[in-house]
Structure 1
Amino acid sequence: MADFTPPERQREPAGKRRRGRKRAKSPSKSPPNRASGEKQDAKRTQTAAQPPSDWRRPPHNHGRQAYAAIDLGTNNCRLLIAKPSGENFVVIDAFSRVVRLGEGLAHSGKLSQVSMDRAVGALRICAEKLRRRNVHLARSVATEACRRASNGEDFIERVRQETGIVLDIISAQEEARLAVLGCHILLEDGIGPAMIFDIGGGSTELILIEPGGPVPRIVDWQSVPWGVVSLTETVGMDETDADIRAARYAEMRRIVSDSFADFAERIKDAQTPDLRLLGTSGTVTTLASLHLELPQYDRKAVDGLIVPAASMRDISDRLSSMSPDERRALPCIGQERADLVVAGCAILESILDIWPAPRLGVADRGIREGILRSLMSADAEGHDTQTALRRIKRSAS
């Protein structure tokens, strides 16, 4: 399936995209509301929810049918519903909620009852949206939290019974593939390999790609079990003492760098003078918002932005030295992200050490968009539910 462009605007070629030049502001007095920013993606739609992953309606008028993707991560539950539009697709509904499914997982090895209840509540909303939007074909995936938890399979069964949604616990490799499929169109033009990364709640994926053709070729990749939730819970952040905060940030940097050491050694020879880097995650979109000095999150301003790497390092350094209260006062961070963004900064800086590109591309898209592209492509080739889903799952193996 050909590359897509979001409905909000037609984007310029990658090499001509705007580059942000502003620096981040000092703390603002008005707390942000990131959720309101995320709702802008679905501004022209009504709120609603979803059914099983393998569910499909009769195969006719595919171009007019709606497709859906659910990504249940360690921190967030996200839904995207879209309809094909030529070579692209148009988003008709979206939903995002912080559920912190992996809260406490680093210490207990299990999903807690409270975190599972939060996730099921969000998935009920998704299930209803799928029904209301008359979704033709949907795929729902769960990532690192469910991969690691000893009760992950039990949780998947509970979700199926209570919401009708069949979650597919995907591998780290499939997670990386979907992230690339969903965001690679935003990569800057250039020569040679490029790096795409996805900082999640429970893991981080680094993917070396060779652009070319409708979908880039994955040359090498690595996933480590460090995301903003798992790293924060493992190392922690001090509430008051600046020296302890600095020491813990340094420990975060060390842990992530050590985890990626073998991968960093493998890709040394792939580096060229024209290094390109693209990130998809709440960390990079939040830092990009601070770079632009946005009063609240705005996807249209952030998705596709090119930011100097030095600016992202500078913002990371300042955030890591702030107290939680100071971070909460910053636009586009607020209560939900104040305790997790520092771990994201540590991961981002470690990635910039591994792949020292002068600029960083920012993507507010990834796994969900990758799922939608996979569904639409497989559905165009197959003519029954099982054929379409088998094609998707074969491409993941």
Structure 2
Amino acid sequence: MLVAQVVNTPSGTQLRPIDTLRETVRLAAGLTDNKLLGNDAYQRGLSAIRRFGERIRGFDPSKVRAVATNTLRVAKNAQNFVNDAQDALGFPIEVIAGVEEARLIYIGAAHEVSAVQGNRLVVDIGGGSTELIIGKGYEPKLMESLYIGCVSHSMRFFPRGNIDAHAFKEAELAARREIQVIAGNYLKSGWKQVIGSSGTARALADIIAENNFNGQGDGLTMGRVNTGSGLITREGLRAMKKHLLKYEHVNDIQLGGLKDERRGVWPGGLAIMLAVFDELGIESMEVTDAALRVGVLYDLLGRSQHHDMRYVTVEQFMQRYTVDRDQATRVGNLAAEFLDQLPKPDSESRAENIALLQWAANLHEIGLSISHNGYHKHSAYIAGNADMPGFSKNDQARLAALLIGHAGKLGKLATNAGFHDWRMLFCLRLAQVLCRGRSDANLPKVKVSEDDGSYLVSLSREWADAHPLTEFSLQKEAAEWERIGRTYQVGLK
């Protein structure tokens, strides 16, 4: 966990770290063969998060962001853990997609390393995934998340800590096969600077520096000049591999700079890094500690300063799917107006929900690019499955549910125990019905109210008489809500 202070300087806004908490939990090592998070890892994670929660108790929720990565993307019982962890931490926890993790890693690294003219490549080997990002300045351009990590790779190829040359070769080849899929595009883009971020890269750099590995043999016996901590070289990695293969078990390894907490996952991390160097033709790599945590904070800072990446993503989707902007704005504004008339529970962030409602309105017709029939299903599928920078998995799930529910029947959502955005869905559906004519002319003055999940829509009888199709549509809408057990009345005065 990183706690930072916002500092305004003449050159811009920066984050100054004032506190760091770090505990080695290794959730990835707790995954069983059937992708369940085992009880020991589950409890280790909760205990650490509970301790972290004490440090930030009393913080403004808008100043805190907690994210979960690969293990909780793949674990079948991830939602149970997230629910328990949120209670322990006292703040929401977002499970983020691999590409979103890559974006945030790049932002964090880019803010902490020296500037370069041209592209930079950032490589982050985590416990269960490896992110590779090419960007320029603070903007990522190519982002990939591969399902290879130091923990999962070590468990797969070096079970129980056993080491041999054949297993290491297999580990390297497996990692190279994953990297080969993306290598062509990355090499075509090119880069001027290579950065290794976070724990694995830092550990490898420290070992190279501590043992004077410089590619001319085993630095433990050669006594070469120290390459300096903060740099990984191809020669250093090869010397490290040569030294590793002298041993039959990780507990036997004698190597300066190798921490006990890294001992069991070091072989897998080394194999992946060698594969990255070989497939992408890298000779040397700078190292920074800054990665995901720093990126998350800068992204959170951007949201507070109205540089929210989610708005950029929605704008890109609107362009890609040639959205009717006038209609999207019309529906979004009317839906937000309705939501403002409804009660605001203490637990609700009205500003966040209005933003989500308007994003849903902006994207509700993207499925028309595929087919008019059932377009809302296509819209929901795109929103739920596409890479959407800035959006957490939960954001995307909520967005997709609003899109699938904004038209058609409500039965599937009614049986979804995890869906809670009924108030926003009511507003979106009502706005969509009233804006069917795709014109600002003749929109009625409408008042809405809610009482314990029952809705009342009030409008002029004179207007309804002049617009029989809309009145008929509102009565059908009321019947659809009644069908799922929710009272919906249309009042004409």
TM norm. shorter chain > 0.5:
yes
Aligned to 2:468: none
| 3-state SS of paired residue (2:166) | helix
Code of the aligned partner of 1:279: G
Alignment of 1:182-331 (within 5 A): 182-187=108-113, 190-209=116-135, 211-212=136-137, 215-218=138-141, 220-237=142-159, 245-271=164-190, 275-293=192-210, 305-322=230-247, 323-327=249-253, 329-331=254-256
State the Cα distance separating 1:172 from its structure 2 match. 0.2
Q: Distance in 2 between matches of 1:256 and 1:91?
A: 34
| 3-state SS of paired residue (1:197) | strand
Alignment of 1:55-204 (within 5 A): 79-86=1-8, 87-105=13-31, 107-131=33-57, 137-187=63-113, 190-204=116-130
Aligned to 2:258: 333
| 3-state SS of paired residue (1:108) | coil
Alignment of 1:334-349 (within 5 A): 334-349=259-274
Percent identical across equivalent pairs?
Answer: 24
Code of the aligned partner of 1:217: P
Q: Distance in 1 between matches of 2:284 and 2:298?
A: 27
Inter-CA distance 192–321: structure 2 relative to 1 (3 Å threshold) = farther
State the Cα distance separating 1:199 from its structure 2 match. 0.3
| 3-state SS of paired residue (2:290) | coil
Of 93-102 and 181-190, deviating more is 181-190
| 3-state SS of paired residue (2:257) | coil
Code of the aligned partner of 1:110: L
Inter-CA distance 387–200: structure 2 relative to 1 (3 Å threshold) = farther
Q: Distance in 2 between matches of 1:256 and 1:106?
A: 21
Inter-CA distance 386–304: structure 2 relative to 1 (3 Å threshold) = farther
Q: Distance in 1 between matches of 2:235 and 2:350?
A: 48
Q: Distance in 1 between matches of 2:158 and 2:129?
A: 16
State the Cα distance separating 1:140 from its structure 2 match. 0.4
| Long gaps (5+) in structure 1 | 1-78, 295-301
| Long gaps (5+) in structure 2 | 212-226, 309-347, 357-386, 392-493
TM-score, normalised via structure 2 length = 0.56
Q: Distance in 2 between matches of 1:318 and 1:388?
A: 53
Q: Distance in 1 between matches of 2:77 and 2:140?
A: 35
Of 306-315 and 80-89, deviating more is 306-315
Is residue 379 of structure 1 aligned with residue 304 of structure 2? yes
**Aligned 8 A contact 1:105 1:230 in 2:** no
| 3-state SS of paired residue (1:180) | helix
Q: Distance in 2 between matches of 1:135 and 1:104?
A: 30
Query: Which of the two has greater helix per residue?
Result: 2
Q: Distance in 2 between matches of 1:342 and 1:317?
A: 12
**Aligned 8 A contact 1:304 1:361 in 2:** no
State the Cα distance separating 1:387 from its structure 2 match. 4.8
Inter-CA distance 303–382: structure 2 relative to 1 (3 Å threshold) = farther
Is residue 366 of structure 1 aligned with residue 283 of structure 2? no
Aligned to 1:27: none
Is residue 354 of structure 1 aligned with residue 279 of structure 2? yes
State the Cα distance separating 1:382 from its structure 2 match. 8.4
State the Cα distance separating 1:334 from its structure 2 match. 3.1
RMSD: 3.1
Aligned to 2:411: none
Inter-CA distance 307–258: structure 2 relative to 1 (3 Å threshold) = closer
Code of the aligned partner of 1:81: V
Aligned to 1:396: 390
Code of the aligned partner of 1:224: L
**Aligned 8 A contact 2:106 2:140 in 1:** no
Higher relative contact order (CA 8 A, sep 6+): 1
User: How many residues are matched?
Assistant: 302
Of 87-96 and 148-157, deviating more is 87-96
Larger Rg: 2
TM-score, normalised via structure 1 length = 0.68
Inter-CA distance 237–133: structure 2 relative to 1 (3 Å threshold) = same
